[in-house]
Amino acid sequence: MKDYGNPLTHVVSIPPYPPGRPTDAVAREFGLDPASIVKLASNESPHGVAPGVIAALAEVDAASNIYPDFDCYDLRHAIAADVGMAPDQVLPGAGSSEIILLAARAYLDGTRKAIIPQYGFQSYEGAVRSVGATPVFVPVKDWVPDIDAMLAAVDDDVHLVYLASPNNPTGTVLPRAEIERFAQALPPHVLLVLDEAYREFLAPEDRPDIARLFQMRRNLIVMRTFSKIHGLAGLRVGYGLGDGELLQVLRRLQLPFSVSAQAQAAAIASLSDSTFLERNRVENESERARVAAALEKAGVRILPSGGNFLLLEVGDGPAISRELMRRGVIIRPVANYGLPTWIRATIGLPRENDVFLGALDEVLRAAG
């Protein structure tokens, strides 16, 4: 990099994160009315936020000249009460993405390795490479993380494992029994980071029992976010659950005030509205099933999903994605995951899903 010094090799090796394209950018490129565009690219909630969130934000906005509570005292206690853990076992962060990075910074370096299942969330690899560590990718089995293969890949140099259920971008769900088996069998020196960003979209009986998991192993962090079913993606707030001493290690690396006052207030208000959250889950489940049935009827291959999105095989994923954008529908191509013939589509409102299905049918017919 001329005139900019020499960046570290491991930093240059980090794959850039490809976000879902903003509505305004697509509107400018294709000459579209932004109001007509359907954005189904980033697994955002189409249901907005809980009513109490608006009031909470209005109250805290008046004090925007004051730094937020770095300790996140009220939010930690609200989360602790919600999940049945102690406040010191909760670490709020700027989305679960901050927890992903903090775990890598705390437990990896240039001599260590981390295991990531094939098709795991791209931010895992970025976090691992950012500290000069080596990512070890383990192939999935029938699209689901292969627990036995992952265990076989563990050696003395492996100090961290990232595992998500439901997984992004595939939507696949690892059975509770398999997660428990893995947690129990994983050597104690390895930190297991279980990503539950999409947990709330699962039926309650399908969600992992985290109390049982923490009984099985101490070296565990469970990550969750308010970006998905809570609808707070723009505020960037999530959290990690784990042993209090372990979380204190991560907190030493956390940027001061990374969770804004607005994010803290909104998250507390959203947690208190279980009716809103359950309605979102049920509506997502219903629409996901309807969209999946329509795609299967049209001969499009899809993967079963436990999240608020579907992965579907369409041929040339990037080309199909571009043609959909030309028609005012933004989805996510996933060639960067080694899935060039697939695309990922968020489950939106019924009208949005109908627009997507109609545009996709038109594009696939034109592609032959």
The verdict on residue 2 lying in a domain is no
State the pLDDT at residue 112.
97
Asked whether residue 28 falls in the same domain as residue 97, the answer is no
pLDDT greater than 60 at residue 203: yes
- What CA–CA distance (Å, rounded) separates 169 from 263? 25
State the pLDDT at residue 17.
73
- What CA–CA distance (Å, rounded) separates 301 from 290? 15
Asked whether residue 286 falls in the same domain as residue 182, the answer is no
Asked whether residue 189 falls in the same domain as residue 309, the answer is no
- What CA–CA distance (Å, rounded) separates 14 from 156? 24
Mean pLDDT within 349-366: 97
The verdict on residue 1 lying in a domain is no
Mean pLDDT within 132-156: 97
Last residue of a domain, one of 272, 300, 319: 272
Asked whether residue 236 falls in the same domain as residue 306, the answer is no
Asked whether residue 68 falls in the same domain as residue 205, the answer is yes
State the pLDDT at residue 180.
97
Asked whether residue 125 falls in the same domain as residue 163, the answer is yes
pLDDT greater than 70 at residue 1: no
- Cβ distance 310 to 292 under 8 Å? yes
Neighbours of 243 (CB within 10 A): 16
- What CA–CA distance (Å, rounded) separates 292 from 309? 10
Domain that holds residue 32: 9-48+275-367
CATH number (domain holding residue 185)? 3.40.640.10
Asked whether residue 95 falls in the same domain as residue 60, the answer is yes
Mean pLDDT within 340-351: 98
Asked whether residue 288 falls in the same domain as residue 251, the answer is no
Query: What SS3 state is found at 296?
Result: helix
State the pLDDT at residue 6.
72
Mean pLDDT within 217-236: 97
Domain count, the chain: 2
The verdict on residue 4 lying in a domain is no
- CA separation (Å) from 113 to 14, 26, 106, 267? 15, 39, 13, 34
- What CA–CA distance (Å, rounded) separates 9 from 3? 17
The verdict on residue 207 lying in a domain is yes
The bridge status of strand 113-117 relative to strand 158-164 is: parallel
Band (10; pLDDT cuts 50, 70, 90)? confident
Mean pLDDT within 144-168: 98
pLDDT greater than 70 at residue 208: yes
Band (2; pLDDT cuts 50, 70, 90)? low
